[in-house]
Structure 1
Amino acid sequence: GNGISGITAARHIRKRSDDRITVVSGESDHFYSRTALMYIYMGHMRYAHTKPYEDHFWAKNGIDLVRGWVERVDTTSRELELSDGRWITWDVLLVASGSRSNLFGWPGQDLRGVQGLYGLQDLERMERDTTGVRQAVVVGGGLIGVELAEMLHSRGIHVTFLVREPRFWGRVLPEAGSHLIERHLREHGIDLRLGTGLQELVDDGTGRVKAVRTTNREEFPAGFVGIGVGVSPNIGFLQGSGVSTDRGVLVNGFLETNVRDVYAAGDCAQLQAHPEPGRPAIEAVWYTGRMMGEAVARTITGERTAYDPGPWFNSAKFFDIEYQTYGRVPAELEAGHDAHTWEHPDGRRSLHLVWEKDSRRFLGVNALGVRLRHEVFDAWLREGASIDVVVAGLDRAHFDPEFQRRFVREFVVTFTTARS
């Protein structure tokens, strides 16, 4: 795999070792920023701009790049078989094969014009299959779904957005945050249909999609259907290898599998015991993929290093609204916890803070439309700061100086009033 985990590991192994390094990937010749794919489609970037390293970087640093898909892993002979029949031998194997888009067996899901968005080939298919399209449907109310909706909208394609749950991203966002994003999507002209799932996809008679039918017995015309219902670890090639898998490749805290000298990192790795309770066993997040790559590189080169991601962090964008989250912010308030939500009158900015009732220890924050300083919130979470310390320090915790005084004053007033 030549995603963020695999490439980070390769780079750090090279810094620490002169051993031969081979990176195998069937997706692309060189590492690129997967998060930038949408901006290529929207015309903001070119593919060359998404590659953080010059093409000659790899040979210069003694990293061999092999283009090909791994079909089979033999852990006894320590060999990989590629789809074109080539074999590669190894002494140490890092599985960093990422994910694949989920499909759930819907009738018609194999029609042309139906796809997810994960890698470069998906972008190329989308470019081809949306030419001349005027109406599209996006299925799935998560981050990939929003990206697909924004991409299609940027080309003047009318988007019907099907979300099975009663509110947007309801398993992640608290209710007020969900409703803020729902309003924002509709303001951009997205036809958001909550509580509506996909039933089947309709063939136009030539093998291409022409419409979708929903669980509510509605039919929407669609020359293109974007599927954004999550991803699953890409680990099928490990079948029969002896490497233990569940939903992902099972690893311990050092990213070691049950087979000696075989490791896994990134989207495909499933931690059997996460160092931080409450976090998912599979972390399909860019920054944790990078951290896994660096940690496993140290272990492979003789400095056994546990994966220690620190406090949870993630970020995204919903059209014009940036989203950041730090720490533990469940969608539904848990027993023994308290929370406070502040929303700006313009309906485009909000903060949601969570803390323990008895100890008043700060647990986490969601920010929509407000850019927070990573180092400040990371430190508060690591130190176990109280909610009172956090509220008192908000004036140094975000990036918007023009908004700062009024924002902080309003938040403190509403927080104090709600607690009195």
Structure 2
Amino acid sequence: MAYVIIGNGIASLGAIDGIRKYDRDTPIIVIGAENTAAYGKPLTSYLLAGRINPERFSMRSGDYYTGKDVTLKLATYIEKIDLETRELLTSDGTKIPYEKLLIATGGKPFVPEIKGVEGDDVYNFTAAKDAYKLIESVKSLKRAVVIGGGLIGMKAAESLYNRGVEVTVVEERDRILSLAYDDEAAGLISRRVGEAGMMVRCGVNGREIVRDKTGKLRGILLDDKSFLEADAIVLAIGVVSNVRLAEEAGLSVDKGILVDDNMFTGVDNIYAAGDVAQARDVVFDKDKVVPIWSNAYTQGYYAGRNMAGNKAAYPGTMSMSSISFFGLPTISVGEVNPDSADPDYEIYTFFDEPKQSYRRLVFKKDQLVGYVLVGDIDFAGMYTSFIKFKFKVDAQTRKRLSEGEPDVLMWPDDFFNKAWNPEIH
């Protein structure tokens, strides 16, 4: 028997490391639907932009798997999890037994309901195969339309633009980056994008992808009746958890697979991690799916060590985005768009437009629960520590944080006492 992991992404790498720290002998089988080694999805835009080569795209070499006694089964699709026999049924009829199972199937692209969305020259942007297809065709592309003005869409658009493609981003909301950033930060980023020469259309959505009589792509008709010519359409709205296998097996599913603090699903010997798992969020204090690379690895690691018998609680998910747009660095962490009518929240902002520097801190009662930095991000790690460790913030500390002067000396004494004296509780 063996540990079996469905999914070959960053969560599976975390799980392998977690298992092998406590169990060096039991074989591990990793099953991946794609015919490629594990890669970092955030790197897809850098691959498309030509900033990294395919060798750097892969997260681990073959020696890693050999050294960890891991058997890879790539281009293998799991059709069913049989809980009674503890077997996985593949699309070709093969049965794979498991002793302990990790579901790390990640997310699948959200496909909007646009007429004509199926067909050539329409791409998703969350899989390596789509990036490679775009790279192959980019030399012949003159115009592209990217559907989605979130993080994925904006980086896809920037990557194509840097390849010399005329790009227009279409976003149905009234501004780009509406989930990860507040109005002011999104506006600053939008101005940088416009200065670079890339077009953004907000408040509209695609109605129909138009082709000529031969099937060749002509462009996209928007719901305001305007038409954008395009040689390629990129769907980059986001992802939804790929929960089909779990749902059909009878596991508890909401937005993702429900797990406890040990990443356990509640079904004997089955765990979940990564973009498919709905785990505890330390800021919102509830279970959420947070599709972030670092969270996926950490969830996988804790799932792995718990599968190996070393019980440990996952410290919790935290929403975080750290990305640059045309050279403008940004970071968004935690709760950045609270209900403005809620009296428990207090927001401090600082904006230096000439320097393109912006800071937004969100406090809830006596804690920092979120922040946005644009331009000057030097103190991001320090702000994050206040959120992660839920430090209490008095009036003086709040003032210094708001003025952009976070310091480790602001941390409470009992935190240092526990760090240096673990026996103190």
TM-score for both structures, normalised by structure 2: 0.87
Distance 2:214 2:139 in 1: 17
Instruction: Measure how far apart 1:331 and its partner are.
Output: 5.7
Q: Cα gap change, 1:205/1:388 in structure 2, threshold over 3 Å: closer, same or farther?
A: farther
Contact persistence 1:111–1:203 (CA under 8 A) = no
Distance 2:95 2:298 in 1: 30
Match of 2:412 in 1: none
Distance 1:378 1:3 in 2: 26
1:391-418 deviations in whole A, cap 9, x for unaligned? 43634669xxxxxxxxxxxxxxxxxxxx
Q: Cα gap change, 1:110/1:166 in structure 2, threshold over 3 Å: closer, same or farther?
A: same
Match of 2:377 in 1: 371
Q: Cα gap change, 1:279/1:175 in structure 2, threshold over 3 Å: closer, same or farther?
A: farther
- Structure 1 residue aligned with 2:159, among 151, 154, 157? 151
- SS of aligned partner of 2:52: coil
Instruction: Measure how far apart 1:45 and its partner are.
Output: 1.1
User: Identity over the aligned pairs, expressed in percent?
Assistant: 24
Q: Aligned ranges for residues 178-217 of structure 1 at < 5 Å?
A: 178-217=186-225
- Residue 2 in 1 paired to residue 5 in 2? no
- Residue 72 in 1 paired to residue 71 in 2? no
Instruction: Measure how far apart 1:274 and its partner are.
Output: 4.7
Match of 2:269 in 1: 261
Contact persistence 1:181–1:318 (CA under 8 A) = yes
Match of 1:100 in 2: 108
Contact persistence 2:47–2:54 (CA under 8 A) = yes
TM-score for both structures, normalised by structure 1: 0.87
Report the AA paired with residue 116 of structure 1: N
Which stretch shifts more, 68-77 or 164-173? 164-173
Report the AA paired with residue 133 of structure 2: R
- Residue 221 in 1 paired to residue 192 in 2? no
Contact persistence 2:281–2:316 (CA under 8 A) = no
1:86-117 deviations in whole A, cap 9, x for unaligned? 22110111000111110122111112111221
Distance 1:387 1:224 in 2: 53
Q: CA RMSD in A?
A: 2.2
Consecutive unaligned residues of structure 2, counting only runs of 5 or more, are 1-6, 409-425
Contact persistence 1:291–1:309 (CA under 8 A) = no
Distance 2:396 2:334 in 1: 16
Match of 2:346 in 1: 338
Which stretch shifts more, 80-89 or 331-340? 331-340
- SS of aligned partner of 1:267: helix
Match of 2:48 in 1: 41
- Structure 2 residue aligned with 1:348, among 323, 337, 356? 356
Consecutive unaligned residues of structure 1, counting only runs of 5 or more, are 399-420
Q: Cα gap change, 1:253/1:227 in structure 2, threshold over 3 Å: closer, same or farther?
A: same
Instruction: Measure how far apart 1:312 and its partner are.
Output: 4.3
Which stretch shifts more, 208-217 or 122-131? 122-131
Instruction: Measure how far apart 1:255 and its partner are.
Output: 1.6
Q: Aligned ranges for residues 236-315 of structure 1 at < 5 Å?
A: 236-271=244-279, 274=281, 276-277=283-284, 281-309=288-316, 312-315=319-322
Match of 2:150 in 1: 142
Q: Cα gap change, 1:372/1:76 in structure 2, threshold over 3 Å: closer, same or farther?
A: farther
Contact persistence 1:112–1:129 (CA under 8 A) = no
Q: Cα gap change, 1:198/1:7 in structure 2, threshold over 3 Å: closer, same or farther?
A: same
Q: Cα gap change, 1:250/1:363 in structure 2, threshold over 3 Å: closer, same or farther?
A: closer
